[in-house]
Structure 1
Amino acid sequence: MKKVLFLCSKNKLRSPTAEAIFSDVDGWEVYSAGISSDAEVHVSLEDIEWADHIFVMETVHKKKLSSKFGRAIKDKKVITLDIPDNYDYMDSELINILKSKIPRLVN
């Protein structure tokens, strides 16, 4: 089972969309969380340790993750997707972007 963690700022739009569209992929466990202090669901050390693959939406998320969980992500592959915060939850364009990027990166 591949454990895939999606992170964005507030866990309201981008990462929950990713979690929703990949939650039914055979052989994958998926979860999403937010990095900001006002996130719907906050990323935890347990989330980081659990994940085999960590995807962040923007470079700033990777920097915040490094700052908060530096040691824990030292040996983890954290991939920046470069998806800006201008999509609604389950936006069709966002879904297409995620589907074009994610599957080939999870191996």
Structure 2
Amino acid sequence: MTDRINVLFVCSKNQWRSPTAEAVYRDDPRVSARSRGTTRSARQTIQAGDLAWADLVLVMEDKHRHRLLADFPGETRFLTVEVLHIPDDYQLMDPELVELIRVATEPFIDSFQRRQRLKP
């Protein structure tokens, strides 16, 4: 198997959605997962180093993608940033949120792995 993919999950406050995603993928042998938030009041605010670490960035909403591209234009220039389209309607580890995260995330992980296998 190829190397693990560094996946960074991003929401606003790093309180419910992105920490849930990090927990869901914590023990997945395909990935190393981190979570961060885009606001100053986030539990863990995203920094340039987080983007340098990441192979794949998965944000919860379009506004998170726009914020990253605006705040970190150099760091995101060649980085894959995808939107999961998961609204801020859930608490930490809500079973419905866990399912939404899995369903939305898996195609991106699969696609990234396929592209990695095609590289010479």
Distance in 1 (alpha carbons) for counterparts of 2:13 and 2:60: 11
Q: Deviations over 1:70-105 (max 9, x none)?
A: 111011110011111111000111111111121221
Larger radius of gyration: 2
Q: Which amino acid aligns with 1:30?
A: A
Q: Deviations over 1:35-92 (max 9, x none)?
A: 0011000111000011001000000001111111011101111001111111100011
Kindly, what percent of the aligned residue pairs are identical?
Answer: 36
Residue equivalent to 1:77: 80
Residue equivalent to 2:98: 95
- The 5 A counterparts of 1:25-36 are 25-36=28-39
Distance in 2 (alpha carbons) for counterparts of 1:71 and 1:30: 22
- In the comparison of the two structures, how many residue pairs are matched? 107
Q: Which of 41, 55, 60 matches 1:52? A: 55
Structure 2: segments with no counterpart, 5+ residues: 114-120
Deviation at 1:27, TM superposition (A): 2.9
Q: Which of 8, 13, 33 matches 1:10? A: 13
Distance in 2 (alpha carbons) for counterparts of 1:103 and 1:74: 23
Structure 1: segments with no counterpart, 5+ residues: none
Aligned residues: CA RMSD? 0.7
TM-score norm. by structure 2 comes to 0.87
Q: Which amino acid aligns with 2:13?
A: K
Residue equivalent to 2:116: none
Higher relative contact order (CA 8 A, sep 6+): 1
